[in-house]
Amino acid sequence: MNTDIRPFRIDIPQEDLDDLRARLGRTRWPRPLPGDQWRRGVPVDYLRELVEYWRDGYDWRAHEARLNGFPQHTTEIDGHEVHFLHVRSTAPDAVPLILTHGWPNSFVEFADLIGPLSKDFHVVVPSLPGFGFSAPPSGTGWDAARVARMWAELMDRLGYSRYGTQGGDFGAYVAPEIARIAPEHVIGVYLISGLGFPTEADLPELTEAERETYTALMSADWANGVDHHALLRAAPQTFAYGWHDSPVGALAWMVQKFKEFNASGKPLEEVISRDQILTNTSVYWFTGTFGSSAWPYYDSSGFAWPQGAPGVPTGVYSGPPGIRRLAERHTRVVHWAEDNPGGHHFTAMDQPDHLAADIRKFFGAVSREGSGW
């Protein structure tokens, strides 16, 4: 196995940009279906305006240059080429921290977070296998534990013997899994959300207030939208043809999920900018990874909320709608915020400064008191 760490730079060929623009211009638009806005999916007028901006207003080269402002590398782990950002801090006591993105996101999720974090942390941001510039899985049977082993190897290869882990969405499964695999190396696990979410099996022991939390959780848009878990588990290859061939079809799918995952109570465009959505979508488009990024779903047997790692201190950016005592059945929770802003799926994109401050608070406490844990 080649363990070399090689410099990497994003350089999308101009012909790929020209092809994208041409495809956007040849869109065969469907008729709007009857019903209120968003009732049948992404409204035609909404998407047409966004597509026109993607074609004539959005500047990929500017965002490509910005992403290339972060030191990027590739290395082979477990037989797969892994792409990652590695931003070293100038702080003498900086804590190494590995961030894991989720779906339908990419390493782009952390573009606004890296700067604030790098004041106090050596930041490592790998692309999940099959996402962006990382090679896709070569076979079936992949899970969060396999990715966690790869990330532990990556941190060892970078020379970090003690470090923190962070994640949201699928990253919320990977981050604690690293601590289970390498507990002697992980000083703390920090998750955006997901711990202690009540299930139907918990109902008999819930208080009246907690039952109301469960009801609200089950009625949220992100819990009742398009069931991407079932869709990607059942027929990802079928849908990948459309996403891979039609940038408008791919964008519509992304916008659908970004809207459903937005639980802030505000319109999507007030929470996540058009350029953020388009940069993330463009990475998927140019790397052809709409299909390969579905593996966390088609390789799963069902859905379950993430669980923390016993014995390793864990912090959560947004506790509710999770219930702390439920999370503490399997996790050593030492930080459980209830009033942080940004109650939705994409906190790193919407609230990078608040998220960085909370991560700093958690790992500051872990670093000071870690010998007692």
The one-letter amino acid at 244: H
Measured from the Cβ of residue 330, the count of other Cβ atoms closer than 10 Å reads 15
Q: What local confidence, expressed as pLDDT, does residue 371 receive?
A: 42
Q: What local confidence, expressed as pLDDT, does residue 76 receive?
A: 98
Q: How confident is the model at residue 46 (pLDDT cuts 50, 70, 90)?
A: very high
For the ranges 113-122, 188-197, 340-349, the lowest mean pLDDT is seen at: 340-349
Residue tagged 């999940």 (tokens) = 128
Instruction: Tell whether the model's pLDDT for residue 54 goes beyond 70.
Output: yes
Q: How confident is the model at residue 293 (pLDDT cuts 50, 70, 90)?
A: very high
Closest CA to 244 of 294, 297, 283, 291: 291
Orientation angle between helical segments 44-56 and 274-287, nearest 10 degrees = 70
Give the per-residue SS3 of 230-264: HHHHHCHHHHHHHHHHCHHHHHHHHHHHHHHHCCC
Instruction: Tell whether the model's pLDDT for residue 11 goes beyond 50.
Output: yes
Measured in whole angstroms, the distance separating CA 257 from the mean position of its chain's CA atoms is: 13
Q: What local confidence, expressed as pLDDT, does residue 222 receive?
A: 64
Q: Which residue has the higher pLDDT, 304 or 125?
A: 125
In angstroms, the CA 47 to CA 54 distance is 10
Closest CA to 296 of 181, 125, 177, 123: 177
Q: What local confidence, expressed as pLDDT, does residue 85 receive?
A: 98
Q: What are the tokens at 5?
A: 């760490």
Q: How confident is the model at residue 369 (pLDDT cuts 50, 70, 90)?
A: low
In angstroms, the CA 232 to CA 170 distance is 14
pLDDT in tens, 298-334: 887 677 889 889 889 999 999 888 999 999 999 999 9
Bridge partners of 314?
189, 333
In angstroms, the CA 132 to CA 110 distance is 14
Percent of the residues in the chain that have a pLDDT greater than 70, as a whole number? 96
**Residue 4 in 3-state DSSP?**
coil
Kindly state the average pLDDT of the residues 168-178.
96
- In the sheet that holds 80-87, the strands lie side by side as 6-8, 72-77, 80-87, 121-126, 95-100, 163-167, 186-191, 313-316, 332-336
**What is the number of alpha carbons within 13 Å of residue 273 lying toward its C-beta?**
12
Kindly state the average pLDDT of the residues 286-307.
89
Q: What local confidence, expressed as pLDDT, does residue 37 receive?
A: 81
Per DSSP (E only), the strands in the chain are: 6-8, 72-77, 80-87, 95-100, 121-126, 163-167, 186-191, 313-316, 332-336
Instruction: Tell whether the model's pLDDT for residue 157 goes beyond 70.
Output: yes
Q: How confident is the model at residue 267 (pLDDT cuts 50, 70, 90)?
A: confident
Q: What are phi and psi of 342, to 5 degrees?
A: 95, 60
Q: What local confidence, expressed as pLDDT, does residue 357 receive?
A: 97
User: What top-level class would CATH report for the domain 6-372?
Assistant: alpha beta
- Name, of 166-175, 204-213, 320-329, the range with top average pLDDT: 166-175
Instruction: Tell whether the model's pLDDT for residue 86 goes beyond 60.
Output: yes
Instruction: Tell whether the model's pLDDT for residue 341 goes beyond 60.
Output: yes
In angstroms, the CA 325 to CA 320 distance is 12
Q: What local confidence, expressed as pLDDT, does residue 343 receive?
A: 59
Cβ(260)–Cβ(221) under 8 Å? yes
Cβ(29)–Cβ(48) under 8 Å? yes
User: Would you state the torsion angle of the CA atoms of residues 358, 261, 23, 65, taken in this order, to the nearest 10 degrees?
Assistant: 0
Q: What local confidence, expressed as pLDDT, does residue 373 receive?
A: 37
Kindly state the average pLDDT of the residues 240-254.
97
> Catalytic site residues?
169, 297, 345
Percent of the residues in the chain that have a pLDDT greater than 90, as a whole number? 74
Q: Which residue has the higher pLDDT, 283 or 231?
A: 283
Q: What local confidence, expressed as pLDDT, does residue 127 receive?
A: 98
